[in-house]
Structures are given as structure tokens and as C-alpha cells.
């Protein structure tokens, strides 16, 4: 395990090293590697189909990599199941909203704490002792911190299905925060939002880092938001890291420009698709 040296940089909170992911003959990720520093906002960007969500699913434990490793706080979690990773401190939202639409906002958020509850079946059935205390602590934390923080007090008892899209995205972030994450993984947090909703979400992301000390790892297509918020940017294309670094440096990188705009060379594009399929 890495240790911090006096006066030196802090050890990475998350280390992705040589991660490869294949589905049959298709290689979704190929040797992906980067670090996430504690207290940072790290963005993963890339064109559609670059492998961003596959990477998120691998880090959070929904996919198991074909090769490579993932370390969290120095611990190898490559083969740790997804629920255990959530308990360790990896909380995430999803590209496509994954809320229980028939349940209220409050009940959806409370589900985020499930991995941390210690109540056994008997306690829960009889609702006494530890179960009652945990329920009180949970409600206090969610209602006094998370709901107030995300400014959703007015919809706490509303069914999720009745909410507009932007508020549903905010509720999903609330559920992720209820997991008490050390790294908050946000998969396209402002996708489909208007300008005002995007500005609100950007403010919440900055505040959760500043006020709660939560490290943020996000996938996002909104380049303005990425460049404004991020400390470190990782660029994927066809499942490979083609650039990473400070936002300004990444934005000016010729490989990044080529990945988004294309080189105009049909042969070059054909080679990339063949590589993606494992042909070359």
C-alpha cells in the first residue's frame, strides 16, 4: 500500500491500472490506467462509444475486467463484489436514471444507506432497539444534510414518477450521497438538463467536494462544465486512454481534437474499428 511522504503528494484514492474489458470478440477497454487524487474532481470524457460507461461499470464492480487491476485506498478491489465496493466508499449514479419510480423521493434516498445498516432480520421485523436507532439516525442524516444540501425538501414525499427529469437526476445524486461515499461517481450528471439545471448541478458537485470532502469522478459530455470543474481529465477513445492531464492541456491535445472531429482519413477510421473488434 502506498503511503504519503511528508510534504509530498497524497497517495491516489483510486488507481486504475491496465484495465482491459472484452465482450466476446469486442474489446470495450484496452489497458486503461489513471489515478484519482483525494479531494479532486476527475472527469472521463470521450466520443460516444469510447468506453466511458463500461469503465464506470468496471470500477463500481458491475463488470469484471479481463485484465488489469483496480485499487481503492491501496486495497485491490478488482474482484470485490459491487455491494461491498459501495460499502467501502464507492457511490455512483447512472447514465439512465435508476430510481424506483413508484416510491417517494425520501424512500429512494434511504435505499442508498442500505449497505451500511447493521440491523438484522429480527430487529427489522419487531422494529425495536438497533432498528429504531438506525432509522432515526438515517432520517436525521438524510433530512438534515442531504435533502437540505440538494434543495429538494419540497419534493421529499412526492413519488419519483411525478418529477421532471432534472429533479430525478438530483434525487439520484442524493441516493448516491446517502451511501456515504468517499468517491462519488457521477455518470453524465447533467445529460438532458437545461442551462439552469446544469448550473445548479455544477454548484452541487463543487459544494460536495468543498463542504463534505468527497472526491468526484464523473463521466460527462458537457465540455464547458468539464473544463470549468475538473482538476484532471482522462480522455478515452475506442477503449483506450489517448490523453490525460489538466483541462487546458487536454483540450489543446491534437489526439483529443482528432478523436472528436476526426482526421478525415477513412483508412484510419477503419483501422480503429478493426482494433476495437480485436482484429489487429
pLDDT digits (tens, 9 = 90+) for 143-199: 778 889 999 999 989 999 899 988 999 999 998 998 889 999 999 999 888 999 999
Domains of the chain, CATH where assigned: 1-89+184-280 (3.40.50.300), 99-180 (no CATH)
Give 3-state DSSP helix, strand, coil % of the chain, rounded to 5.
Answer: 45, 20, 35
Most confident of 3-12, 98-107, 171-180, 270-279: 171-180
Burial degree of 24 (CB within 10 A; 0-12, 13-18, 19+): exposed
More reliable by pLDDT, 107 or 73 = 73
Of 212, 203, 204, the residue nearest 183 (C-alpha): 212
More reliable by pLDDT, 221 or 216 = 216
pLDDT at residue 93 in the model: 86
| pLDDT tens digits, 35-67 | 999 999 999 999 988 999 999 999 999 999 999
- Kindly state the average pLDDT of the residues 87-102: 82
Residues 6+ apart with CB under 8 A from 137: none
pLDDT at residue 1 in the model: 40
Amino acid at each position: 500500500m502506498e503511503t504519503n511522504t511528508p510534504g509530498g503528494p497524497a497517495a491516489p484514492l483510486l488507481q486504475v491500472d491496465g484495465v482491459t474489458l472484452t465482450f466476446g470478440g469486442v474489446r470495450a477497454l484496452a489497458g486503461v490506467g489513471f489515478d484519482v487524487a483525494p479531494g479532486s474532481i476527475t472527469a472521463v470524457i470521450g466520443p460516444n462509444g469510447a468506453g466511458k460507461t463500461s469503465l464506470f461499470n468496471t470500477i463500481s464492480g458491475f463488470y469484471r475486467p479481463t485484465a488489469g487491476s483496480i485499487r481503492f485506498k491501496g486495497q485491490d478491489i478488482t474482484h470485490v463484489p459491487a455491494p461491498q465496493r459501495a460499502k467501502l466508499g464507492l457511490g455512483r449514479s447512472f447514465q439512465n436514471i435508476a430510481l424506483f419510480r413508484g416510491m417517494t423521493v425520501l424512500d429512494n434516498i434511504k435505499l442508498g444507506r442500505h449497505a451500511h445498516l447493521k440491523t438484522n432480520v429480527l430487529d427489522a421485523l419487531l422494529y425495536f432497539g438497533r432498528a429504531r436507532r438506525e432509522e432515526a439516525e438515517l432520517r436525521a442524516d438524510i433530512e438534515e444534510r442531504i435533502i437540505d444540501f440538494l434543495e429538494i425538501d419540497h419534493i421529499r414525499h412526492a413519488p419519483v414518477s411525478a418529477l421532471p427529469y432534472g429533479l430525478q437526476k438530483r434525487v439520484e445524486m442524493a441516493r448516491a450521497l446517502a451511501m456515504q461515499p468517499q468517491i462519488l461517481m457521477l455518470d453524465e450528471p447533467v445529460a438532458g438538463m437545461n442551462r439552469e439545471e446544469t448550473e445548479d448541478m455544477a454548484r452541487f458537485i463543487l459544494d460536495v467536494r468543498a463542504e463534505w470532502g468527497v472526491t468526484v469522478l464523473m463521466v460527462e459530455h458537457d465540455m464547458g462544465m468539464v473544463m470549468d470543474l475538473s482538476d484532471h481529465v482522462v480522455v478515452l477513445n475506442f477503449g483506450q486512454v489517448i490523453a490525460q492531464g489538466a483541462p487546458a492541456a487536454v483540450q489543446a491535445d491534437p489526439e483529443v481534437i482528432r478523436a472528436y472531429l476526426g482526421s478525415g482519413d477513412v483508412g484510419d477510421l477503419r483501422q480503429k474499428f478493426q482494433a476495437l473488434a480485436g482484429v489487429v
